[in-house]
Structure 1
Amino acid sequence: MQHSADIDPAIGAERLARLEERVRQDLAYLCLPPANWVPPHEKDGEPVHDVVIIGGGMVGLLAYFALWSGGIRNTRILDRNPAGLEGPWLTYARMETLRSPKQLTGPAYGHASLTFRAWFTALYGEEAWEALDKIPRPMWMEYLVWYRKVLDIPVENEIEVKRVRPEGEYLRLELAGRGAGEKSILTRKFVMATGRDGTGQPNIPGFVDGLPGHCWAHSADDIDFPALKGKRVVVIGVGASAVDNSAEALEAGAKEVRHLIRRREMPTINKMMGIGSPGFTAGYAALPDEWRWRFMQYSFVTQTPAPRGSTLRVSRHENAYFHFGHGIRRMDYENGEVVIETTTGKRLTTDFVILGTGFTVDPLARTELGEAAGEIMLWRDRYTPPAGEESTELSNFPYLNEDFSFRERTPGKAPWLSKVYCFNYGASASLGKVSGDIPGISDGAAWLTRAIAATLYREDVETHWQGMLDYSKPELLGDEWAETDIEDAAATPAPAFTNGS
């Protein structure tokens, strides 16, 4: 890469080693981690974990580090992917660079030595940092792998949580996968750090139902782009994922790529950028429902545009086309090609369709929660928007407690849902952009940690009270003072005074 051309790899490795020593020193100076303060639990001789996190990507790593920093040490973190492939960065994310400005501190959690900038400059130097525009996507994953390594975060890979069910006051997690050494484990709290599709699934429109699987894919799928060389491709949508997949197809040698876009105009303004501030991060969750809905619904309606660089990556190809105002009426497979009819009556044919249609938020799609997923309270259960502000998409978001935990829709039907924490995209409607996006993720992790710590302490309050009563280590040993009697003034005659004295 250009930024590393003038750096001797040995020098970079030496400087990175010094940075890693600085990280360890910073943690030691801050007395981190504190001693584990949570009393151990067991059930019938089986140990119970305090917290289990699913998702070993950026959000899960930070959640683990924040809990560790808060003295909650009996925690496990599981990920279904092989090591190094956690999160979307090397799988279905296909942008060249991150959208976020390089200066954002992301998962550093208040530690300068854990920032991307500290890692990058250790390897490549300050001049390279000044020359860097946006962070290359694969490099961000390199940084997260280092973050995991330097903090010694014990992600357990290739383990999937298949089902969560209550067992007394605890949760039983049923496990599967190559890395699973146990069939099930017990935990007190369960954190779903599962990213963009954390409370839903890819959005698959019904118009592809009649198509054979070999001629279409969702943008989150593992697409064989080299196989699209010389082929006609239609991309549905013009959001970031749609544009990134379009660019991949063009660069793989597609004959043409056509975007079919329901909107009549290209979205150009990221409205959320205009209000981002510590005030919004802290204050959004405290707003009444009507204001939270209004902010989020407006951002959905206006839509976040694809980054400028990503869009130019597509439009520089002469065989790329943007067709606005064309929704999809139907798709059919005829004579070895896909025939598309748009809502404007236009008809076109193509060889392959890519759905840049994003993800749905649908807790019912989370099979690990079983039937209880249907008892998760949604925004539509709590709030009816005024005319003109309706949003089916937003109404399906979970209506969370202020600590990221789920609420039950019917009191008494699934009270254990309050032990499950939605620390992913699904939390954004209730609590804001603090559980997935790089700008606010450290604030969200601190918030989550305080909430879990408070709950664990409250649940064990009798044990903590007894610990206070039993504590007997003296501060003073008895040799620090000498006891003396007070001389009784009443037993001593008062001195006589004369006029001459």
Structure 2
Amino acid sequence: MNANTPPAIGLRQLEIRLRQDLSWLEWPAKSWVPPRTFAGEPVTDVVIVGAGMCGLAAAAALKGLGIANLLVLDKAPAGREGPWVTFARMETLRSPKQLTGPALGLPALTFRAWYEAQFGQDAWNALGKIPRRQWMEYLTWYRRVLDLPVRNDVELLAVEPGPEELLTLRLREAGAERVIRARHLVLATGRDGLGGPFVPEIVSGIDRKLWAHSSEALDFEALRGKRIGVVGAGASAMDNAAEALEQGAGSLDLFVRRKDLPRVNKFTGIGSQGVVHGFAALPDEWKWRFLDHAMKAQTPPPRDSTLRVSRHPQARFHLGSPILSLEERDGHLVLTTPSGAYPLDFLILATGFQVDLGLRPELAAFAPFIRFWKHRYTPPTGLDNAELANAPDLGPGFEFQEREPGSCPALSRIHCFNYPAMLSHGKLSGDIPAVSDGADRLARSITAGLFSEDRETHYAALVAYDTPELLGDEWTVAPHSAASG
């Protein structure tokens, strides 16, 4: 350790410092939302589905604004929320280590503060990028230190409008179903929050034991010595290929439709507070142009992830190799591209995700009424983009909007705080850099809505408030006297 470098203070001291910061900021604000009941049961003001990074940031922002009647649900066990220790298989995060992520403007809540408290400043300076599992440890600490109301092993089965101006949520918990009522619902459900994995038709009819999507749980040890194929050119493709190779795959063929791997991460080049705060205010045609250009350029896989694959001699990159056919023969696969046929024992599809409400039965009651960008905007010739066309058209608080006005008013109480919100709001609800800004925008909108809905109650409280600040003994009234002439 450098003699001039302060020692690691330890998490306990950091938490003391954070509690002091929160106290000075009067965080959280006092609870102010009038309690509600329905049929004798309490109503929850806001339910958040998903306790990953976005869900935790949203919960912290709402709690900070005095919304105490709050509940966060996640179907995963504690410590396994989000992708970080499940289907994410990279060694380190892509984002630069110094980004403040979900810290909500609080220095002592940043990953850097958490890391330096334990390992010291020299270790921080020496750190390249954040190890993936360590990021999950940080999020677990974030949840604990802010005392966020998360309940694990709870699955949302269905959402229905009503009764009155409420939402009915049907849940499965501990093997039993139950119903709760909520005023607002936030879907912090990640990349596949409005759909699921994109699976190309070419695997239709192929035995399921011979292929998997990259988002699934995979037994890489069972693939030891096998001939593995991976379809895709993004980060997920490289990470799954590397994992298979490191677990002893006999061979690894990576099939890429493009003639070259994408080289430039477009949004990194224009990342700024201007984009964070200005994107949502752009005219439709400019929102579309920005994202269409970035998507068609594609995001390159991280250099480290690509090198993690190429250092294995049994790895082969096949560029300009779209899949022409896929056949099942004698218990294995034969994949054909313009370059030839390749026998494989297992195929991993790193083909991303899609918006498809048919894959989200919990939203079935609302699906026919949700407005998408294809209902809002027709792009010029040459800018067709199915992924953007199927993005939800969201309001200023990430809320769904009706395809036909008046058809389903309850949609305004469901907030899409996940990756498909990008065309409406920019990259505020799926990636690390601006998640605090997204959570703040969401929380302020819900806060304003709750206050407006309860305005009669708040007005009655204003009228009834009668605690005096002056007691009448603070002054003496001057005696009346005749005016002097």
The bucket for the TM-score relative to the shorter chain is over 0.9
**CA offset digits 1:225-283 (Å, max 9, x no partner):** 01111111110001000110000000011111111111111101000011110011101
1:177 and 2:166 equivalent?
Answer: no
Distance between the aligned counterparts of 1:143 and 1:345, measured in 2? 46
Q: How does 1:107-126 map to 2 (within 5 A)?
A: 107-126=102-121
Q: Secondary structure at the match of 2:148?
A: coil
Change (3 A) 1:179 1:428: farther
Q: CA deviation at 1:179?
A: 7.5
Mean Cα deviation higher: 249-258 or 370-379? 370-379
Q: CA deviation at 1:345?
A: 6.4
Aligned to 1:332: 327
Aligned to 1:141: 136
1:266 and 2:268 equivalent?
Answer: no
Aligned to 1:7: none
Distance between the aligned counterparts of 2:480 and 2:100, measured in 1? 64
1:299 and 2:299 equivalent?
Answer: no
Distance between the aligned counterparts of 1:361 and 1:296, measured in 2? 16
Q: CA deviation at 1:486?
A: 4.5
**TM-score if structure 1 supplies the norm length?**
0.94
Aligned to 1:320: 315
Distance between the aligned counterparts of 2:336 and 2:316, measured in 1? 17
1:87 and 2:93 equivalent?
Answer: no
> 406, 413, 418: which is aligned to 2:407?
413
Counterpart residue identity of residue 381, structure 1: H
The answer to whether the 8 A contact 2:160-2:365 is kept is no
Distance between the aligned counterparts of 1:486 and 1:109, measured in 2? 60
> 174, 184, 200: which is aligned to 1:205?
200
Aligned to 2:48: 53
Q: Secondary structure at the match of 1:211?
A: coil
The answer to whether the 8 A contact 1:92-1:220 is kept is yes
1:387 and 2:381 equivalent?
Answer: yes
Q: Secondary structure at the match of 2:423?
A: helix
Mean Cα deviation higher: 394-403 or 92-101? 394-403
**CA offset digits 1:29-83 (Å, max 9, x no partner):** 1111111111111112111111000001111111111000000110000000000
Aligned to 1:448: 442
Counterpart residue identity of residue 77, structure 1: V
The answer to whether the 8 A contact 1:364-1:374 is kept is no
Q: CA deviation at 1:485?
A: 3.1
Aligned to 1:436: 430
The answer to whether the 8 A contact 1:210-1:332 is kept is no
Distance between the aligned counterparts of 2:313 and 2:173, measured in 1? 45
**TM-score if structure 2 supplies the norm length?**
0.97
Task: Give the structure with higher Rg (CA).
Answer: 1
> 94, 113, 119: which is aligned to 1:99?
94
Distance between the aligned counterparts of 2:212 and 2:254, measured in 1? 15
Which structure 1 segments of 5+ residues have no match?
4-10, 494-501
Distance between the aligned counterparts of 1:366 and 1:472, measured in 2? 51
Q: CA deviation at 1:178?
A: 2.1
The answer to whether the 8 A contact 2:223-2:244 is kept is yes
The answer to whether the 8 A contact 1:156-1:179 is kept is no
> 466, 470, 478: which is aligned to 1:472?
466
Q: CA deviation at 1:487?
A: 3.1
> 152, 158, 163: which is aligned to 2:147?
152
The answer to whether the 8 A contact 2:184-2:413 is kept is yes
Aligned to 1:19: 14
Which structure 2 segments of 5+ residues have no match?
2-6
Q: Secondary structure at the match of 1:462?
A: helix
Counterpart residue identity of residue 100, structure 2: T
Distance between the aligned counterparts of 1:264 and 1:393, measured in 2? 22
The answer to whether the 8 A contact 2:357-2:364 is kept is no
Q: Secondary structure at the match of 2:327?
A: strand
Distance between the aligned counterparts of 1:358 and 1:45, measured in 2? 45
Q: CA deviation at 1:196?
A: 1.1
Distance between the aligned counterparts of 1:319 and 1:367, measured in 2? 42
The answer to whether the 8 A contact 1:53-1:60 is kept is yes
Distance between the aligned counterparts of 1:260 and 1:484, measured in 2? 94
Counterpart residue identity of residue 206, structure 1: E
Q: CA deviation at 1:24?
A: 1.0
**CA offset digits 1:158-214 (Å, max 9, x no partner):** 00110000122100000013276x601000000001111111101111111121111
Identity %: 53
Counterpart residue identity of residue 478, structure 1: G
Q: CA deviation at 1:365?
A: 2.5
Distance between the aligned counterparts of 2:157 and 2:482, measured in 1? 80
Aligned to 1:282: 277
Distance between the aligned counterparts of 1:287 and 1:204, measured in 2? 33
Aligned to 2:341: 347
Aligned to 1:400: 394
1:308 and 2:299 equivalent?
Answer: no
Q: CA deviation at 1:398?
A: 0.5
The answer to whether the 8 A contact 2:233-2:256 is kept is yes
Counterpart residue identity of residue 172, structure 1: T
Counterpart residue identity of residue 169, structure 1: E
Aligned to 1:8: none
**CA offset digits 1:287-317 (Å, max 9, x no partner):** 0110001111111100011111011000111
The answer to whether the 8 A contact 1:256-1:320 is kept is yes
**CA offset digits 1:440-490 (Å, max 9, x no partner):** 00000110011000111111111111111111000111111111135332x
Distance between the aligned counterparts of 1:308 and 1:271, measured in 2? 15
Distance between the aligned counterparts of 2:336 and 2:420, measured in 1? 33
1:43 and 2:52 equivalent?
Answer: no
**CA offset digits 1:351-379 (Å, max 9, x no partner):** 10000001112234221111421221111
